[in-house]
Structure 1
Amino acid sequence: MGNLSIVTIVIIVANVLISYKGFNDYNFFDTYKFHVGGIKRGEKFRMFSSGFLHVDTQHLLFNMLTLYFFADIVIQDLGTLSFLFVYIGSLLLGSLLSLYFHKDEYHYSAVGASGAVTGILYSAILLRPEMSLYMFFVPIPIPAYVFGIGYLLYSIYGMKNKVGNIGHDAHFGGAIGGYLITLFLATWLFKTNLLMIGLLAIPIVLLFVLKRMNKI
């Protein structure tokens, strides 16, 4: 069993155990979920602990499967410690962006590893933009960079129109984390994948332009 398997399994096991504790113990869930009011009271740990809680088994399974499929790429290209840096950094940036967008909504709450997992996904896309991804119900492969840009544009749409009970801002924050941290760790990408770096930056810039214009 390689380092990747150990690290991935530890993260998955932590998510499963903590999530199932939350499924069966509402007080535990309520204490450690992302909650704007709680964070403003000084409970900053919620910005980290919420990333290991999930709403239900389906939510947990989707996040852990995504992590399983893309963790390998990041570990192979960056190493185990850098993988953890991307995972934790993306989790926290996802929480920070959620707090930024919902800072005036005292009762806003959220849970899930989506920010961290989306950061790993975006790190993998940045490292291997030539790879193809398959989506549910779409039988043809989609270039990774096309998926990345499209996903962030959809997240902007979701944030603007409050689509579904989904933390689009946490996903977007996680993607920004994966993007920025990977570029910090893998500076060679500026020589090998400069065009892709620029393309993947477009929806990130667009988000903050729209926010500044009060369109979101």
Structure 2
Amino acid sequence: MEFSITLAIIIATSLVSWLGFSNDALRNALVLWPPAVSRRHEYHRFLGYGIVHADFMHLLFNMFTLYFFGRLMEGFYAQYLGPLGFLWFYLSALVVSALPSYLKHRDDPNYVTLGASGAVSAVLFAFILLRPWELIYVYFIPVPAIIFAALYTGYSVYMNHRQSDGINHSAHLSGAAYGVLFTVLMEPRVLSHFLAELVSPGG
């Protein structure tokens, strides 16, 4: 059986998250709590927050999405960055997607964020660059990937402005932007491929 970084990430994240559901000390040691970074220099939290989740549905949604899109992107990055390329991309996406909310709440003792949503958004939007017209099933409803991307971005921008639901939409947006930027900088021909696919679906 071929080793899969995607599957390894899912197993590790699911295991730690599951333990964290009943172990507050573990979860509190990993969540991104900005004062712990700025005052105590606990930089591990920029990665640790991505392997703990608020609840089972939060975990399930992120890992389900990662499973379906991570496998293809893992093979794609391996062509350019070697067998661990996808792992470095995923870990860097965790850090980058958390930076805006960390900087905004650096001195806020009441703010915490957790979950892999930012990194998963990076994977998803990188996938959309390669296959913009692929159908994505949103609550069992098929939606073309590029349409989903537009709706997802618009919704995240709106909800990030409102800041009323306790979800870190900033991480979603930052992760999505990073996934696109990283992939285009790594392989600039992806952009021309994406544009060609947009004007000629399936061509």
Shared fold per TM-score greater than 0.5: yes
- What is the rounded CA distance, in whole Å, between the counterparts of 2:131 and 2:88 in structure 1? 19
TM-score when scaled to structure 2?
0.87
- What is the rounded CA distance, in whole Å, between the counterparts of 2:15 and 2:102 in structure 1? 26
- 5+ long unaligned stretches in structure 1: 198-216
The residue aligned with 1:24 is 22
* C-alpha displacement of 1:16: 1.4
Q: 1:135 aligns with which of 138, 146, 154?
A: 138
The residue aligned with 1:126 is 129
The residue aligned with 2:8 is 10
**Contact 1:155/1:169, CA 8 A, preserved across alignment:** yes
* C-alpha displacement of 1:18: 1.1
* C-alpha displacement of 1:100: 2.9
**Contact 1:119/1:179, CA 8 A, preserved across alignment:** yes
- Does the C-alpha gap of structure 1 residues 154 and 2 become closer, same or farther in structure 2, counting only changes over 3 Å? same
Q: Secondary structure of the residue that 2:172 maps to in structure 1?
A: helix
Within a 5 Å distance, the mapping from 1:71-82 to structure 2 comes to 71-79=70-78, 80-82=83-85
Identity of aligned residues (%): 35
Q: Secondary structure of the residue that 2:16 maps to in structure 1?
A: helix
The residue aligned with 2:67 is 68
**Contact 2:122/2:179, CA 8 A, preserved across alignment:** yes
* C-alpha displacement of 1:19: 1.0
- What is the rounded CA distance, in whole Å, between the counterparts of 1:186 and 1:82 in structure 2? 13
**Contact 1:54/1:111, CA 8 A, preserved across alignment:** yes
- Does the C-alpha gap of structure 1 residues 44 and 105 become closer, same or farther in structure 2, counting only changes over 3 Å? same
Q: CA RMSD in A?
A: 1.9
The residue aligned with 1:183 is 184
The residue aligned with 2:201 is none
- Does the C-alpha gap of structure 1 residues 151 and 196 become closer, same or farther in structure 2, counting only changes over 3 Å? farther
The residue aligned with 2:158 is 157
- Does the C-alpha gap of structure 1 residues 8 and 137 become closer, same or farther in structure 2, counting only changes over 3 Å? closer
22-31 or 113-122: bigger deviation: 22-31
- 5+ long unaligned stretches in structure 2: 199-203
Q: 1:35 aligns with which of 33, 36, 45?
A: 33
Within a 5 Å distance, the mapping from 1:165-176 to structure 2 comes to 165-176=166-177
**Contact 1:114/1:171, CA 8 A, preserved across alignment:** yes
- What is the rounded CA distance, in whole Å, between the counterparts of 1:116 and 1:21 in structure 2? 21
* C-alpha displacement of 1:112: 0.4
Aligned length: 193
- What is the rounded CA distance, in whole Å, between the counterparts of 1:196 and 1:106 in structure 2? 46
**Contact 1:98/1:170, CA 8 A, preserved across alignment:** yes
* C-alpha displacement of 1:127: 1.5
1:86 aligns with 2:89: yes
* C-alpha displacement of 1:90: 1.2
TM-score when scaled to structure 1?
0.82
Within a 5 Å distance, the mapping from 1:192-203 to structure 2 comes to 192-194=193-195
